[in-house]
Structure 1
Amino acid sequence: MEFAKRLYQRFESLVHELAKFGSIGALAFFLDTGVYNLFLLGFEWGPLTSKVVATTLSATFAYAGNRFWTFRHREQTGLGREYFLFFLLNGIALLFGLLVIGFTKYTLHLHDGLSLNIANFAGVGLGTLFRYWSYKKWVFLEATEPIPVELPEVRQDR
């Protein structure tokens, strides 16, 4: 039991960070899937166009959640830089989804909603692995100085 406790203590910050990343990711996944199906099945847009719209909306949500909650303890290197890198890396992750969906529809000739949703889930899974690694490496950098958990008291002289 002592081994498990020491192991947890060693990886505590990683476990918490992964839990937060997973929570934001789960919400973004439901947003992505809902928007994807709305446009694919509701508006009968093509699967690739539906995926681009869904990813754009869910990535915007994920950026805010990850910046201000998951990785708030990391260095803030400027909104413009982070936002650009975040969406560039999400664009690369989107390619995973588009390749899987495109392969399903245009190579396997599976056009039904279930097959396209399974392809979407597989693409999201591959993209998630890439996003977690790339956000930590390039977008939300390690803090060079400790970031306080709470804001300091503001002294009001009268």
Structure 2
Amino acid sequence: MFSRFVRRLLRGQTLKEWLVEFLRFCTIGLGAYVVDIGLFNLLAYHWPVALPFDQSMTAKTISVSVSIVFAWVGNRLWTFREKAQNNRRREFTMFVLVNLGGMAIALGCLGVSRFILDYDSQFADNVAANGVGLVLGTAFRYVCYRYLVFASPAPATGSHRDESALR
């Protein structure tokens, strides 16, 4: 039963292929994280012009939006290049929708910290949005990228490639 579950999760990849894919995802994610955190802190705390509404919430929305484009390009061209869809518009739309879900997770964490727990320091904002929100959002994104956005059809069960996935 466990081996069948693992085969379904690997979707025809060997464990090594999956690990390479996951490490590429993490590398692109790290780059997107740097873009997100850097732009967030620049806009929220060092930008000479006040942003509309709540400075931190607006800054996070902008920083996540820019990092989404960075991550799509990186994941499309490197992490999931073999699984990239021919229909780029559909793929990008799905990618943006998944990332809006990830952004909602980060903004939710930031909102709870700021408006419910009443923490409004730069440190608290970064822990909530870029610590807790990042971990939860990253798990959500990876699963959705792998199984929704860059999903290639699963191979037929019982194929040679499927059986070698556990080695």
When normalised by structure 2's length, the TM-score is 0.78
2:83 to 74, 82, 105: 74
- For 1:23, the equivalent position in structure 2 comes to 27
Distance 2:39 2:108 in 1: 19
CA contact (8 A) 1:75 1:144 kept: no
Moved more, 111-120 or 134-143: 134-143
Query: What 5-or-longer segments of structure 1 have no aligned partner?
Result: 1-8, 146-158
Post-superposition offset of 1:141: 1.5
Match of 1:31, SS?
Answer: helix
* CA shift in 2, pair 1:144/1:11, >3 Å: closer
Closer/same/farther in 2, CA of residues 118 and 144 from structure 1, 3 Å limit: closer
> How far apart are residue 137 of structure 1 and its match?
1.1
Residue range with higher mean Cα deviation, 109-118 or 40-49? 40-49
Question: How many angstroms does 1:144 deviate by?
Answer: 7.5
How many Å apart are 1:122 and its aligned residue?
A: 1.1
Larger Rg: 1
- After TM superposition, the structure 1 = structure 2 runs for residues 9-158 of structure 1, keeping only pairs within 5 Å, are 10-43=14-47, 45=51, 46-120=55-129, 121-142=131-152
| Residues 102, 144 of structure 1: alpha-carbon distance in 2 compared, 3 angstrom cutoff | closer
Change (3 A) 1:136 1:41: same
Q: How far did residue 111 of structure 1 move? A: 0.8
Deviation at 1:77, TM superposition (A): 3.5
Structure 2: tracts of 5 or more residues without a match: 1-12, 156-167
Letter in 2 for 1:125: V
> CA offset at residue 19 of structure 1?
0.5
- Count of aligned pairs between the two proteins: 137
* Secondary structure of the structure 1 residue equivalent to 2:81: coil
Identity of aligned residues (%): 31
The answer (yes or no) to whether the contact 1:75–1:143 under 8 Å persists in 2 is no
Does the 8 A contact of 2:76 with 2:84 survive in 1? Answer: no
Cα RMSD, aligned residues only: 1.8
Contact 1:96 1:126 in 2 (8 A): yes
Question: Contact conserved, 1:73 with 1:143, CA < 8 A, in 2?
Answer: no
Residue 73 (structure 1) shift:
1.1
**Which residue identity lines up with residue 84 of structure 1 in the other structure?**
T
